[in-house]
Amino acid sequence: MPPPRPTTQPVFLLRFFLSLALISPLTAAPDFIHEVVPILQQHCVECHTDVKHKGSLSMNTEESFRKGSKNGPIFDALHPEQSTILKRITSEDEDERMPPKGKGLDAKAVGIIRSWVLAGAKWEPGFAFKPAAYEPPLRPRDPVLPIAVDQRSNPIDRIIDHYLAAKKLPRPAALEDAAFLRRVHLDLVGLLPDVEAVHAFLADTAPDKRSRVVDGLLANKTAYAEHWLSFWNDLLRNDYAGTGYIDGGRKQISDWLYQALHDNMPYDQFVRELVAPSPATEGFANGIKWRGSISAAQILPMQYAQSVGQVFLGINLKCASCHDSFVDRWKLSESYGLAAIYSNEPLEIFRCDKPTGKTAVPGWLFPELGTVDAKLPKAERLTQLAALITDPQNGRTPRTITNRLWQRLLGRGIVHPVDSMQSPPWSEDLLDLLGSHLTHNHYDLKQTLRLICLSQAYQSKAESSAELPQESTYVYQGPRPKRLTAEQLTDAIWQICGTAPAKFDAPVTRQAAGQAAPAKPPMVRAALLRSDLLMRTLGRPNREQIVTTRPLDLTTLEAMDLNNGEILDKRLAEGAQALVARAFASPTALATYVWLAALSRNPTAEELRIAADLLGEKPAVATTQDLLWGVLMLPEFQIIR
């Protein structure tokens, strides 16, 4: 490990560590929706939800769960290992043990609940154990737009202006030029604007300069593809190393995916090629062939059903792969029906890992749109399924992906969480608008991104992190701040310092067929590399499971690695050496460059004074490294506002 940082670092840089009071526990938490909820639903909610609150304990909502019973909280936040809930589910006293019926929880269930509690008993925002009262529309809809106010003609703004006016809420303040430039670069291509771009944009007085920036970024095929590659690798659980790749139990789709993004393949075609796969795309459909014994819900056809449902339709079929779902309306037979479309042989239905003796009938989740002919060969069944998922009358597919894009750009989905499309949106009109806009524009995702980025809603200041309301009472009041991803932070360091590696790991062709090689090859991006420990610490998943949103909370391990981690220390040392070698005219010139390159603004007089004091008359590698570390630890750098 590198030695502790010197004490010469500016006081203002230590603001970062004030956030450590909010860090989440180091213990890894199980998936709340897919692992914890089924256990609570099966064993607890009969007695502790709705109006039936035995022992005065209600588990209807997170608030009532944390409140506990008349005897006090069942979860101890300061000492989670001493939580009453753990004592009750592990007690050998039948009068005390919960649940009171049967033999209690098995060892696996106890382990899941214990891990959940020790990790802070984190609840999915907005989730409640209540019967679903909302069924989203299936067909697409073109909403009637409200009258434009103040010449705000973007249809997104027309809907949101009406929404805010109805709730007597003010419009969020407009984003300044420099902040907009930084945000839109990071959102669309994952890179910081270079210093020259910042200077040129701030000097430009043309009224269309923002739209020209958006169009220019979307036209940069390589930068766009290599940024959105991380988004889709997470969603399609594609990676360059890890479980299954060595023993042949998993297959990459990297080259196809990269080319599809580079060429801006229409989304309906993109979906069809994954649902009814070719050899180039079958890695997603096949999933992971796990070694050793597995549950019936983990066999390849069931993985296919779960993956297709989650990624393209925003449906959780994992619970319904074991029994009728506890969290929404999906049935075991429906999950197996979707899986049977992909199965090479008759598929017996298992309920909670026990065979039922029944054979699944290949079937589509929304028969009102059409059906899959169970008698056809597998390839033809898949072609029919792909056509149904991308049918113009299936509004679910475009709503799901445009909701994901909105969440990616504005920090929170119109439907939240993004995998729970059975939940009501905060604006049905906005969700329908984005879905219909995508289909009307021939499923061009870049056109949807352009529409969002050119709206005043996107070009507004983000809400304050300290004032964000509870999800259960969410009302849209503007964009939400977003953390830099592991790849964005890594790329930013290389971009600022000019120290990107020379080679990449992804088996992709960076130049499209027939495209002339550029005079200067593009920077190697973190998205094209196998993840290292730092990237994994910063939230890049192993991609053995589908990941649709990365964690937003700072963890203890992240704080440690950002403070004194070996990988970051080495990376910043290399960057400092490269910056010193550039021989800036003065310490203030070096500091000004770092501020512009990292934050897209000049340093204030006080910041410049502190930086100059730190660097001294002749910046050395060590002091330059400290300057880099201090600036990169600022919330202003780490958060996209």
Per residue in 137-187, pLDDT (tens digit) is: 999 999 999 999 998 999 999 999 999 999 999 999 999 999 999 999 999
Q: How far is Cα 481 from Cα 489, in angstroms, rounded to an integer?
A: 15
Q: How confident is the model at residue 45, as a pLDDT? A: 74
Q: Give the type of residue at 21.
A: A
| 380-386: average pLDDT | 98
Neighbours of 392 (CB within 10 A): 12
* 533 inside domain: yes
| 346-355: average pLDDT | 95
What would the pLDDT profile of 580-608 be if each residue is shown by its tens digit? 999 999 999 999 999 999 999 999 999 99
Q: Is the pLDDT of residue 7 over 60?
A: no
Q: How far is Cα 613 from Cα 15, in angstroms, rounded to an integer?
A: 19
* 77 inside domain: yes
| 202-219: average pLDDT | 98
User: Could you tell me if residue 516 is left (phi over 0), alpha (psi between -120 and 50 degrees) or otherwise beta?
Assistant: beta
503 lies in the same domain as 602: yes
Q: How confident is the model at residue 26, as a pLDDT? A: 43
- Number of structural domains the chain divides into: 3
Closest residue by Cα to residue 305 from 335, 275, 274, 334: 335
| 60-78: average pLDDT | 80
Q: How confident is the model at residue 44, as a pLDDT? A: 81
497 lies in the same domain as 595: yes
553 lies in the same domain as 496: yes
Q: Which tops the pLDDT comparison, 244 or 469? A: 244
Q: Is the pLDDT of residue 390 over 90?
A: yes
* 471 inside domain: no
Domain range enclosing 614: 11-22+484-514+529-640
612 lies in the same domain as 496: yes
User: Could you tell me if residue 102 is left (phi over 0), alpha (psi between -120 and 50 degrees) or otherwise beta?
Assistant: left
Q: Out of 132-146, 162-176, 236-250, 301-315, pick the least confident.
A: 132-146
| Partners of 359 in beta bridges | 348
Closest residue by Cα to residue 286 from 261, 257, 307: 307
Q: Is the pLDDT of residue 22 over 60?
A: no
Q: Which two tokens stand for residue 561?
A: 């690695």
| 555-584: average pLDDT | 95
493 lies in the same domain as 533: yes
Q: How far is Cα 342 from Cα 286, in angstroms, rounded to an integer?
A: 9
Q: How confident is the model at residue 355, as a pLDDT? A: 96
- Domain boundary residue, one of 389, 423, 456: 389
Neighbours of 570 (CB within 10 A): 12
Q: How confident is the model at residue 15, as a pLDDT? A: 39
492 lies in the same domain as 598: yes
Mean per-residue pLDDT over the chain, rounded: 90
Closest residue by Cα to residue 590 from 577, 600, 580, 604: 580
| Partners of 72 in beta bridges | 69
| 408-417: average pLDDT | 96
Q: Is the pLDDT of residue 102 over 90?
A: no
* 468 inside domain: no
pLDDT band, residue 3 (cuts 50/70/90): very low
Q: How confident is the model at residue 468, as a pLDDT? A: 65
15 lies in the same domain as 69: no
356 lies in the same domain as 499: no
17 lies in the same domain as 114: no
Q: Is the pLDDT of residue 323 over 80?
A: yes
* 562 inside domain: yes
Q: Out of 173-182, 417-426, 507-516, pick the least confident.
A: 507-516
488 lies in the same domain as 599: yes
What would the pLDDT profile of 328-349 be if each residue is shown by its tens digit? 889 999 999 999 999 999 999 9
Q: How confident is the model at residue 6, as a pLDDT? A: 43
Encode 486-508 in three state secondary structure: HHHHHHHHHHHHCCCCCCCCCCC
Q: How confident is the model at residue 514, as a pLDDT? A: 40
355 lies in the same domain as 493: no
616, 587 in Cβ contact below 8 A? yes
Q: Give the type of residue at 320.
A: A
* 448 inside domain: no
The CA-CA-CA angle for residues 264, 269, 270, to 5°, reads 60
| 80-94: average pLDDT | 86
Torsion of CA 188, 190, 195, 199, to 10 degrees: 20
Q: Is the pLDDT of residue 516 over 60?
A: no
Question: What pTM value is reported for the model?
Answer: 0.84
Going from the C-alpha of 440 to that of each of 140, 252, 266, 328, 445, the distances in angstroms are 11, 32, 12, 31, 11
* 112 inside domain: yes
Q: How far is Cα 406 from Cα 449, in angstroms, rounded to an integer?
A: 8
User: Could you tell me if residue 612 is left (phi over 0), alpha (psi between -120 and 50 degrees) or otherwise beta?
Assistant: alpha
422, 135 in Cβ contact below 8 A? yes
Q: Is the pLDDT of residue 98 over 90?
A: no
Closest residue by Cα to residue 449 from 230, 180, 189, 223: 189
* 609 inside domain: yes
DSSP 8-state code for residue 237:
T
- Domain boundary residue, one of 389, 409, 435: 389
Q: Out of 249-263, 320-334, 462-476, 580-594, pick the least confident.
A: 462-476
Give percent above pLDDT 90 in the chain.
72
Q: How confident is the model at residue 469, as a pLDDT? A: 62
493 lies in the same domain as 598: yes
Q: How confident is the model at residue 20, as a pLDDT? A: 39
Q: Give the type of residue at 203.
A: A
- Domain boundary residue, one of 344, 365, 389: 389
Indicate the helix (H) or strand (E) that contains 581.
Answer: helix 566-581
